[in-house]
Amino acid sequence: MSNINLTLINILPEHVDFEPKLMLSTLLITCLLLLAFYMTKRTSCAVYLIDFACYKPPDTQKCTKEFMINKAQHSGYFSEETMEFMKKVFGKSGLGDSTYLAEVYLAQVANPCINESRREMEMSVFGSIDVLLKKTGVRCEDIGILVVNCCIYNTMPSLSSMVVSRYKLKDSIISYNLVGMGCSAGLMAIGLAEQLLQVHHDSYALVVSAESLTENCYLGDDRSKFLTNCLFRVGGAAILLSNRRSDRHTCKYELLHTVHTNEAHSDLSYNCIIQEEDAAGRIGITVTKHLFKAASAVVTSNVTSLSNLILPVSEKLRYVANNVARKLRPTANIRPYVPNYSVAVEHFLPHVGGKPVLDELQKNLGFDEAAMESSRMTLYRFGNTSSSSVWYELAYAEAKGRVKKGNRVWQMAFGSGFKCSSVVWRARRNVCYDEVNPWTGEIDGFPVHVDYDDGPLPFFESSK
């Protein structure tokens, strides 16, 4: 402080007497301090996660893999080869026999019309919001920000208007409806809500992530489009965020970091998951064999940014030392150092795209089997529920009683674009038993052992 004082005095004009000089410098310092206070206050508006809720569909929508195969076989839409492909994919998928299918496919004759998809969305979106409102006791009129994301369902009025209409949210509500943004959209919605909370003080933000199965079924034999028919399941989550200081002591988590990467500037990334028509004009989502390459590029780049924010100095030093060693002795074949992420986060919750995706992540980020339990069990129990999957995983860790005060939680989602988002939270308290957790009543039965077929991945076999 005295240093600043001196410099200030020195730059004052010579002819000013000592007293006014002192007064002037005191004034300047006060201004600087006020400015610093104001700036730190603006940039450190904390965002709290009060609670979240995951939708649990009715038991009547549970279906086994065998049921799905039978249903597909009798639908008359698919060839014998496609059915063989479906069986092979199921053998490798990591999905169990109690995931949820959309109601429309359980009927004798499926008729995926607009009415049906609206009904499906109402069930999962309202289903999760109802639970969240009950859990948190927040009043609808206090919600100032609403962000809803759903990739495929896009109608008028929008999904976010459906929510405003149903819950009679106030007319000054700031609402956004994100469509077509893939599995990473849920965490992007959190990022958007975070930014809105930086400028709208004393607010609650409601974020809802869901996906439509009804409009997502591909009725053809092109294998690169058939994959999503196999892995994709019903799910939805509602999350309540707040920047009110009074929620600091009651909330579950505090938001530490959000990191978003979008590599759509690369053609390979852009084209690897894409909605289009097949040769016969039937709409589907093509997943190409470049998926892993694109995903790995975007995840690496995002994780690099995140590592800078979360890794302790010791891990960074090891990483740098390894990099230098590899540069100096390129012929020595030194293996790249994978930082130990377990020192920076206690819970790693990646989007459950499918078993091969989880395997790849585990290998590249060096997590042990225990760290992967939440994601593998979520894949087994609920399937790929798109953007809401990371919330079922967090619910799993909570139901197991593993989330302790101070624990850091890393949610990571990636999807079409190709995009990757990471969000890191810190638990502000021990999370206790919760009877409206989707895992309640069955959590003691987990983890289960999941059987997988051996052999090469059938996912990207080309169709004949």
Which residue ranges make up the site for ligand NAG (CB under 6 A)?
113, 115, 182-183, 216, 227-228, 231-232, 259-261, 273, 285, 287, 301-302, 304-305, 340, 342-343, 353-354, 357, 384, 386
Rounded to the nearest whole angstrom, what is the least distance from the CB of residue 156 to ligand NAG in the complex?
15
Query: What burial letters (b/e) apply to 97-117, b meaning 16+ CB within 10 Å?
Result: eebbbbbbbeeeebebeeebb
In the complex with ligand NAG, the residue whose CB is nearer, 301 or 440, is 301
Q: What share of the chain is helix, strand, coil (3-state, %, to 5)?
A: 50, 20, 35
Shorter beta-carbon distance to ligand NAG: residue 112 or 182 = 182
Position of tokens 């599995």? 183
The distance of closest approach from Cβ of residue 258 to ligand NAG in the complex, given in angstroms and rounded to an integer, is: 7
- Distance of closest approach, residue 343 Cβ to ligand NAG, in angstroms: 4
Least separation in angstroms between CB 115 and ligand NAG: 4
Give the separation between CA 249 and CA 120, rounded to whole angstroms.
Answer: 36
Rg (CA), the chain: 25
For ligand NAG, give the closer residue by CB, 296 or 342.
Answer: 342
- Which of 225/252 has CB closer to ligand NAG? 225
For ligand NAG, the closer of residues 196 and 251 by Cβ is: 196
Q: Considering only CA atoms, which of 399, 404, 402 is closest in space to residue 443?
A: 399
Least distance (Å) between residue 74 CB and ligand NAG: 23
Please say which residue, 170 or 404, places its beta carbon nearer to ligand NAG.
404
CB of 174 to ligand NAG, least distance (A): 22
96/382 Cα distance (integer angstroms) = 8
Peptide bond into 447 cis (omega under 30): yes
**How many residues appear in the chain?**
464
CB atoms within 10 A of CB 34: 10
Q: Within 329-434, where are the H helices?
A: 355-365, 373-382, 389-399
Show the tokens assigned to 56.
């649990």
Task: Using the minimum distance from each CB to ligand NAG, give the nearer residue, 213 or 240.
Answer: 213
**Closest residue by Cα to residue 213 from 332, 63, 345:** 63
| Closest distance to ligand NAG from the beta carbon of 370 (Å) | 10
Element housing 287 (H / E): strand 283-287
Smallest gap from residue 173 Cβ to ligand NAG (A):
25
Nearer to ligand NAG, 25 or 388 (CB): 388
User: Is residue 28 a contact partner of residue 12, using CB atoms and an 8 Å limit?
Assistant: no
Residue 7 or 165: the one with the smaller Cβ distance to ligand NAG is 165
Q: Give 410-444 as a DSSP string.
A: EEEEEETTTEEEEEEEEESS-----TTSTTTTTGG
CB of 304 to ligand NAG, least distance (A): 5
Nearest residue to ligand NAG, by Cβ distance, number only? 353
Helix 291-310 to helix 355-365 angle, to the nearest 10 degrees? 40
